[in-house]
Chains A and B, each alone.
Chain A
Amino acid sequence: MNRLRFNLNGRWVEEPKLSPTTTLLRYLRDRLSLTGTKEGCAEGDCGACTVAIAEAGLDGKPQWRAVNSCLVLMPMVQGKTVLTVEALRAGDGTYHPAQEAMAKALGSQCGYCTPGIVMALFEATYRPDIKREAWKLDDQLCGNLCRCTGYRPIRTAAEQVAGSCPKDRFAEGLSAAAPQSMELRLETEGQKFFTPVRMGALWDVLDFAPEARFVVGGTDLSLEITKKFAKPALLVSLEGIPELKRLEETEAGFRIGAGAVVSDLEVWATSRLPSLARMARYFGARQIKHRGTVGGNLCNASPIGDLAPALISLGASVVLASRAGERRLKLEDFFVGYRKTALQPKEILAFVEVPRPGPSTRAVTYKVSKRRELDISTVAAGFLVELGAGGEVIRAQLAFGGMAATPKRAVKTEAALLGQPWSAATIDGAVPKLAEDFTPMTDHRGSAGYRAKVAANLLRGFFEETSLGPSPVLQPLHAGTVQTYGPVG
């Protein structure tokens, strides 16, 4: 397929001549004058550009997903169905329940963020799971900033429509909106974008163009286009290859496809790897989680990528694949320097393997940031200890983000825990070792001193939080990253 073809607001559209780095947002506004979708930041941090895309959920059935159109490159909608705010009002003038609820609750003041909020609420309307936990509503809407209302009326509107699952034309339309093959070879004005749908085709592309850059959801790479106005000559999308998206249980544990999006991972991991699910809760926002992938978050090798410390603490390995075959590396060894990985040319990160935690394992993840939601971590941590029969620490895997040039294990601190009883005294003895493991830096997110202090406190909090049970869950209305409530002492 060398034509870009997708369904927009109920009509199939073909675009033969479009720069592959055109974002969906600019396409909607500049080409189609669909100006309901707004640009507030062009970096996925405000949600004003939110649209809905039908994507296959974990069960394989299509569902509406809110995404940031500012970060979606046009080839990424190949074969998909896209809805903008303009599609919601019926031909007879009837408003969608999300629109009506927002207007009645006075959920808009200046109205500029409103179409994006309506589209986030649109997804919420058709989510059967959203009312199961209170935090899911916050999670659904935290990707949409509003500067006027203070959010209370938006919450009122959301509570009315979220999970109402009306059997309307949008629910019915979903079955027809099953995503089609994303296969694409697009070449426009010197820019190329390939989306292979089989591994064999991927290797073919790489033989022909080893300099290709990989992209999946684009939540990081698109910033080069929207912020630095880069025009990459060749992008290869891994989004069309189904096996890279799989989330599977294996004999030894779990196999996570690098192409799995974080929102799917979050649901899947809840019962299997709760500490990973807890990190996913504060990963970006709903829109970002629908596009951001496990592989993307690891391969950009950012020192503040949130999944890395969570996965390292779980003892994860990465499976690197090429035409020649597969090789495995411990995840911590995958990061070889600031934003550098061990990937060789013509090689991709295909899977992440996580061993099944032992029975007396305690694992928690933490993310501390200036703002709780939709922020980049100042310090992130993934902690795992396994206790022996006598209550002594037989395994300690402590990983931090934001403390060094790469996500990194606290090797000396771990050593101080091994063989010791799992007690406050042991933690007190180990905490000073953090200063030997890390020399954090000062930036706009926090000072070196704060980072060091928080890292130590998180370790203390980890002990306190897990002294009651192995895998504590987030409490509603929690004040901090660490869930420590209870009697002193």
Chain B
Amino acid sequence: MSTAPTATQTLPTPRPAGGEAPAQEPLTPLHQPLLHESGLKHTSGEARYVDDLPAPAGMLLCHVITSPHAHARLTRRDATKARAVPGVHAIYFAEDVPGLNDVGPVIHDEPLFATHEVLFMGQSIGVVVAETYDACRAAAKLVELDFEPLPAITTIDQAIAQNMWLSEPHVMRRGDADAELWKSDVKLEGEVRTGGQDHFYLETQATLALPEEDGSLRLLCSTQHPSEVQAIVSHVLHVGRHLVTVEVPRMGGGFGGKETQAAPFAAMAALAARNLRRPVKIWLNRDQDMAQTGKRHPFLTRYQAGFSKTGELKALKLETYSDGGFSNDLSRAILDRALFHSDNTYFVPALFFTGRVAKTHLPSNTAFRGFGGPQGMAVIETIMSRAAEVLQLEPAEVRRRNFYSEAPRNVTPYYQEVRHDRMPRLWDELLKSSDYFARKAAIETFNQGQKHAKRGLAITPVKFGISFTTSFLNQAGALVVLYADGTVQLNHGGTEMGQGLHTKMLAICAHELGISPRDVRAMNTATDKVPNTSATAASSGTDLNGAAVKVACETLRERLKPVAARLLGVPAASTSDILFAGGKVFLQSRPELALPFAQVTQAAYLAQVSMSATGFYKTPDIHYDKAAGRGKPFHYFAYGAAVSEVELSGLTGEHRLRRVDILHDVGASLVPTIDRGQVEGGFIQGVGWLTCEEVLFDDKGYLLTHSPDTYKIPAFGDAPADFRVSLLEGAPQPDVIHGSKAVGEPPLMLALSVVAALRHAVAAFGKPGAHVDLKMPCTPEALLTAVDLVRSA
């Protein structure tokens, strides 16, 4: 499989906002407003996804046999009749798995196929492999399954009450939180719930498994984690990983949903392909995908917070629970990250946080952009809003007052020092550029003149820790292949799901070799090019893989320098003076003697120089001791803030986003056009989570919202009418690839500003200081309920 030549530069690059288009191609593509490397292919339909690949001869299709119960004993499985359906080639159950019948990514608690007990509605029991989907479905109907239903736990509250857990408590503490609460002027108590969220990647889970020689397999898989798919397929099939190659063409969206949850389906296709010696594709339709895969973890947090009269946070106690679903998946790390972000940008002098993953009979909840961070931040932002409401202070000032600052107010609840803190600067710049205070005053006037429509305005901050909190995962590799004609194939361990990683890697690679991105081709991510990779997750794709690409390019450059020196007729000792830029190789002191890059590579080939190089990077100096609740889990923090203005109808609870201003810190942006897209898209995805997206199960554990008919992600008209996004200027980040910062997840949490603004609008329907009780997601019903509460107060 290969990607067609990149289209990155076949169109003139768009002009930077307010600037003139460069007259000619800049010397380096880095920090330039590039197009998405696949943009034109996306628009023409040429871009291929797994399900678009031409069907190989003899390809078979899969249909997963799933549990109709949330919790039951599975007493009998009989596929005799089903196997007789014409076109059916196989039906596999647990006993057909040659290796380990488990697909749990961290802890082996997730069977590929259920055996004696089913633990959620939609759990895989077996798989039908047939020539057509019609045959698959006909056979699936004839599979005989007997169940003895057992009591099912379908809410986090039931799980807590029944002591059903997937983890031990994770505890963070500092000072004497109880004593400080007691001494506080104002004590706030309450609970915050945040809901699930379906990833709703437009491309559902898909894998094409191709049997090759020696019992080996090649899998074309829509996954953020090809190495883990490879590992899981290997142990399911009981073969070495050298016999399994996983390749990712591109994903039609991932958002965390294809980090661990691609593997079970890939394993089914792999099992069938290896047994039947035929190509086998598995592809879930939308309803299957939504019912069978996990989502963002719903959280319940009970809090007690102590504030001074002036709005200074004195103490905070949190008791946090997440709904892990039936198995661990990544739930523990997600809960950890929720706790790591329960401070957001605020210094908490005295604290006691506990967090624990509850077990329910629901699909296993999994990674979703933010990975617990949004759930943690939603709690502290609710508390900050409430403190301002209760104390009748300006919320922007209450928040500002509690920001991290000089020692000792610069230490997080997990004892990492906050360094390179951009928050105060960013906050003040955004307050000014968004005209916050003048607009707030105008809104008060508007609200006084309206009976059924009220507006709200709020600013909220984001501080997001960058690194996998499982420290060893912070590593990446690259393989850069240079041909004699000076063109390059670029392989790295990261996967492209739309976020623009390939575009950034192309820019880095082209910059390091001093050539045009047109001469570099980003290859499909594949485990036979870069082994043992980490997931493209935790916003880390660019930081880790970019650094590895840079190392590989540096190695190649060093090998080319002696060749260039010879061609330039200078002593080999002067190689430190040789530069690569603009498609040329030259001496810094004598740029007029520049050699075309291709001349150097051709000469290097003839001189028997190795033209491929690997690069490797690991993040230095990160560690965390979970038992002690202490460490330095993050390499650095990404910052941002958003000002949102809403209008709310007091008759129906409907609202509209009138204007959003965002200032986000991406360091020295590698590709500002791509980064802006991540900020805008992440924000709207967060808005969806907090407003219109509602995952609902009935009390039997049946997912009521299993298609876009009933599950509503934001549509075109839900984006703010006026959307102003800026990247923080002049803020390169030390010790990160070319001064940049991670951007994938942090902007999602900027959407909390919408909830804060909605609270402001709700409050405007009542008397000053009326208690706002607004549930998330802020659906029209939740909002109207909150409005009626403040009206009746």
Contacts and interface: CB of A to CB of B under 8 A. Distances in A.
Nearest to B684: A150
B250 interface: yes
Contacts of B785: 450
A151 B684 contact: yes
Given A149-B681, A370-B779, A41 B718 contact: no
B647 A35 contact: no
B652 A35 contact: no
A150 B719 contact: yes
Interface of A: 29, 33-43, 45-46, 48, 84-86, 88-89, 95, 98-100, 102-115, 118, 138, 141-142, 144-155, 227, 229, 368-376, 378, 444-447, 450, 453-454, 457-458, 460-461, 464, 477-482, 484-489
A118 to B, nearest CB: 5
A110 B723 contact: no
B38 interface: yes
Interface string B714-740: 111111010101000000000000000
A41 B707 contact: yes
A477 B721 contact: yes
Contact of B203 (A100, A112, A146): A112
B27 to A, nearest CB: 22
B451 interface: yes
A165 to B, nearest CB: 20
B444 to A, nearest CB: 14
A46 B708 contact: yes
A40 B680 contact: no
Contacts of A375: 712
Given A104-B14, A457-B652, 11 more contacts: A40-B202, A41-B707, A86-B44, A109-B36, A147-B713, A369-B780, A373-B717, A461-B651, A479-B453, A479-B649, A484-B450
B287 A457 contact: no
Contacts of B719: 150-152, 155
Contacts of B499: 109, 148
Given A35-B45, A106-B35, A111-B47, A48 B708 contact: no
Contacts of B452: 461, 464, 480, 482, 484
A112 B36 contact: no
Contact of B712 (A43, A89, A102, A370): A370
A483 to B, nearest CB: 9
Contacts of A41: 286, 707-709
B500 A109 contact: yes
Contacts of B646: 479
A113 B202 contact: yes
Contacts of A35: 45, 48, 51-52
A370 B658 CA distance: 18
B344 interface: no
12 contacts: A102-B39, A102-B42, A106-B674, A109-B499, A109-B500, A147-B200, A149-B677, A154-B716, A370-B780, A373-B717, A484-B451, A484-B452
A104 B11 contact: yes
B694 interface: yes
Contact of A458 (B47, B651, B710): B651
A479 B455 CA distance: 9
A38 B203 contact: yes
Enumerate the 6 nearest inter-chain pairs by beta-carbon distance, A residue then B residue, closest first.
A36-B45, A480-B649, A110-B498, A111-B42, A112-B252, A150-B684
B285 interface: yes
Interface string B198-229: 01111100000000000000000000000000
B637 interface: no
B685 A150 contact: yes
B203 A148 contact: no
A313 B653 CA distance: 24
B41 interface: yes
Contacts of A460: 651
A146 B201 CA distance: 9
B277 interface: no
B321 interface: no
Given A99-B43, A447-B781, A45 B708 contact: yes
B92 interface: no
A109 B675 CA distance: 11
B497 interface: yes
Q: Which of B251, B497, B719 has the most CB of A within 10 A?
A: B719
A42 B499 CA distance: 25
A450 B11 CA distance: 52
Contacts of A376: 709
Contacts of B52: 29, 35
A104 B35 contact: yes
Contact of A108 (B42, B497, B704, B709): B42
B709 A482 contact: no
B712 A371 contact: yes
B418 to A, nearest CB: 29
A398 B785 CA distance: 25
B789 to A, nearest CB: 12
Interface in B632-659: 646-649, 651-656, 658
Given A106-B39, A477-B721, A488 B451 contact: yes
Contacts of B709: 41, 43, 45, 376
B250 A111 contact: yes
A147 B717 contact: no
Contacts of B784: 450, 453-454
A200 to B, nearest CB: 37
A484 B453 contact: yes
B498 A109 contact: yes
Given A141-B716, A481-B654, A103 B43 contact: yes
Given A110-B252, A372-B654, A479-B649, A155 B716 contact: yes
